[in-house]
Structure 1
Amino acid sequence: MNDIIRVTILMPIFKVEQYLEKTLDSVFSQTYNNIDYVFVNDCSPDNSLQVLRNTISKYGIPEDRYTIIDHKQNEGIAVSRADCISHAKGDYVFFVDSDDWIEKNTVEKMVEATRNGVVDIVGCDFYKDYLSEDSTYHHEDYAETCMENLYRCLNYDIATVLWKLLIRRTLFDNFTITPHVDIVEDYIMSVKLYYYAKSFVAIPQAFYHYVQYNQARVSLQTLWSVNMHIKGVQEVEEFCREKGLYDNYVMHKLNLRKFNIKSNFLTKGLLDYKAYRNTFPESKRMWREMGYTRNEKLKFWLAEHDLFVLLKFLQR
C-alpha cells in the first residue's frame, strides 16, 4: 500500500523490563513502513531503558526514526504522554503501553481506515491477555459520530483509553494535558479528542493486546487512585460546562460515573463514611439505576439516608 501517511508510535516506559521486548518486537515488525517512534523513559528503576536500546539496535532502527526522552525523575503517565505528543512528527499518533503488544498489521489497517488522511480518529477492538495464555475479545460499542462517542466515554460505555485509537496529531493542539492527574488522563483526553474531532471510523477487528498479568500496573483501587478518578471526572465536568455540553443527559451520565467512584468509600479496603458522605453528594441516589445485589442496595440505601450507625453494624 502507499505509505504516504506518517504515523508516530508513542510509548511511555516505566518498570516494564520483563515485558518490553515483546512490545517492541510488535511495533518494530509492522507491515506499514512510514512509522517513527517516541519513547519516554519515566525514570524507570529497572533495566527497561537498556532493553529499549538493545531492541532498537537488534532491529537496526535508524536514529532519525526514533526519539528517546529520559526523565531525570518520575513524572507520572500524564506528563509522559504529554512529552510523547510534543515530540511526535507524524500525521497521526498511536499509543502503545509498554507492557502490551499489537498485531503486525495494526498500523496498516488503521491507516487504511483514515481514507487517505480524511478521518480524524480511527478506533478498533482489543483483546485482554491473561497469564494462562488465554485471551478474551472485547468489542467496543462505538458510535458513528464523534459527539456520541464523547457521550459514551462519560460513564465508560466505551473504554476511555488512548491505545485503541489512531489519532490525528493536531487534535492535541486544542488542549493542554493536566500534569500529574494520572490513571484518568486517558478518560480526560478521550472526551476532549472526540469533542474536537470531526470524523470517526470504527474497525470491527481487534488489533491491540491489553496485558492483564503485569502486577506493576497502577490501576488498583487505592485511595490515591480513587482521588485521581475524582479529579478526572471533575475536569471532564468542567470541560463539558465550558463547551456548552452540560445538559440533563450529560449530568446524568456524569452522576453515574461519580457514584461508581463514590461507592469505593463503602468497600472494605477504603471504608470511610465521612468521605462517602462528602464525595459527590449529588450522585447518592444513582445506585438505583445500577445492577447491584439486594445486600448492596440495602447498604447504599442506608448510606443515602446517613444511617451509618446501622450500616456499621451490618458491615461487622
Structure 2
Amino acid sequence: MNTMKVSIIVPIYRVEEHIERCARSLMEQSYRNIEYIFVDDASPDKSMARLEKLLTDYPERRESIQIITHDENKGLPTARNSGLRVANGDYIFHCDSDDWVDECMISELIAVAQQEDVDIIYTDFYLSFHTNERYMRQPEFKMPMDCLQGMLCGSMKFNVWNKLIKRKLYVDHGIVFPTGQSMGEDMTIIKLFCKANTVKYIPNGYYHYMQTNPNAHTKRFSERQLVEIQRNLEDVVRYIEQHVAMDLNREVAYFKLNMKLPLLISLDTKMYALWRNWFPEANLFIKNNPAFSLRAKFIQYAALKRMDWLVKLYNQLVIRFVYGIIFR
C-alpha cells in the first residue's frame, strides 16, 4: 500500500497563524511514502521559523522533506511551479498553507489510485469558518469530459486542493500554473482534465478550506486582480478550444458567466457595471445553465436590467446573513 509516492506541494506566504495546524495534519498522514515540498515564497513573517521548529517533532519524516526558498515573493502560481519542478512522486497533491487535512486522506486516495490506476481523483471538502464548517459535496462523474463540462457549468469545483493528480499529466503535456497571474490560477486544473483518461470521485471530505476573511461573503478586486482573472480565463478557453474535440461553446458561455458572477457578490456598484462589460455574449445563456440556482439567476438578471439597487440589497440582506451569521 506504500509503493506509490505522493508529492505534497505547500506554498508558504504570511501564514504564521495557520502553518502549524497545516503542517501537523500533513506530517501525521497515515500513508508513509510521501514527499513534502514546502515553498517559502519570501514570507516576511514567522511562518518558516514556526514550520522548521514543528518539523523537528517528526524526525521520521525528515528525509522526505524539501524546503525551497524564493529570494523574492513571486506569487502562488510560481510557488506551485517551483514545487512541481522538483517533485518526483507518482501523484501530486496541492495543499494551501492555511488549510488542513484529515490524517487518512492520502492513504484512502492512493488506495483507489493504486487499485484502479486513475489519472485524477477528486473528493468532497469542507469550507471551514471560525466556529463551524460547511460540507461541500461534489457531483459524481465517471469520465473526464463529464467533469470538464461540470466544471465549466459550475456544478463541480476546479480547486487545486481536493484532487490527487498523476504527475505524468503535468509533465507529458507541459501544464504549469500561470506565472505572475495569481487570480484564477486554479483554472489550470481544467487543462489537466482535458488530458486525463480516467477519473474517480470519492464521496468523502478530507480537506478543510479555511475562510480566514471575515468579509469573504463579498468580493473586492483590485485592477490587477481583475486583469489576471480575465487573462487566465481566456487562456483556459483557448486551451479547451485547441485540445478538446467536442463542441463546448455552450459550456464555455456558462464558464464565463460563472467566472464573472463574483463581481455581483459585492457591495460596490462599480462591479455590477463591470459585470455587464465582461463577456456580454455569455448573458444569453443565464437561464439555460442547470447549475445556476434561482438566486444566481435572479441577481444576474437584475444586473442585466441595470437594477443595481436590487443587487446591492440582495448582498446586504441575504449574503451577509448567511455568511456573516450562519457560517462565521
Give the TM-score taking structure 1 as reference length: 0.85
Mapping 1:1-316, distance limit 5 Å: 2-61=1-60, 63-116=62-115, 118-132=117-131, 134-173=132-171, 174=173, 175-187=175-187, 189-213=188-212, 220-223=219-222, 224-245=224-245, 247=247, 250-262=248-260, 268-269=267-268, 271=270, 275-289=274-288, 290=292, 291-292=294-295, 296=299, 299-303=302-306
Between the aligned partners of 1:293 and 1:192, the Cα distance in structure 2 is 26
| Rounded Cα–Cα distance in structure 1 between residues aligned with 2:312 and 2:130 | 34
Report the more deviating stretch, 199-208 or 226-235.
Answer: 226-235
Deviation at 1:274, TM superposition (A): 6.6
Report the Cα offset of residue 191 of structure 1.
Answer: 1.1
2:323 aligns with: none
Q: Tell me the CA shift for residue 232 of structure 1.
A: 2.3
Q: Is the 8 A contact 1:123 1:202 kept in 2?
A: yes
Are the structure 2 counterparts of residues 92 and 154 from structure 1 closer, same or farther at C-alpha, using a change threshold of 3 Å? same
CA contact under 8 A between 2:42 and 2:70: conserved in structure 1? yes
Deviates more, 1:294-303 or 1:250-259: 294-303
Q: Residues 30 and 104 of structure 1 are in contact (CA less than 8 Å); yes or no, is this contact kept in structure 2?
A: yes
Q: Which TM-score applies when normalising by structure 2?
A: 0.83
SS state of the match for residue 204, structure 1?
strand
**Cα distance in structure 1, aligned partners of 2:308 and 2:3:** 63
In 2 relative to 1, CA 71–4 (structure 1 residues): closer, same or farther, beyond 3 Å?
same
Report how far residue 214 of structure 1 moved. Answer: 5.1
- The sequence identity of aligned pairs, in percent, is 25
Give the secondary-structure state (helix, strand or coil) at the position aligned to 1:17: coil
Superposed displacement of residue 113, structure 1:
0.6
Asked if the contact 2:219–2:262 (Cα under 8 Å) also holds between the matched residues in 1, the reply is: no
**Do 2:194 and 2:244's aligned partners in 1 also have CA atoms closer than 8 Å?**
no
Answer with 1 or 2: which has the greater Rg. Answer: 1
Q: What is the distance in 2 between the residues matched to 1:293 and 1:88?
A: 40
Q: Kindly state the Cα deviation for residue 298 of structure 1 after the two structures are TM-superposed.
A: 5.9
CA shift in 2, pair 1:214/1:66, >3 Å: farther
Give RMSD over aligned pairs.
Answer: 2.9
Structure 2, unpaired ranges of 5+: 314-328
1:93 and 1:258 map into 2 onto residues whose CA distance is 28
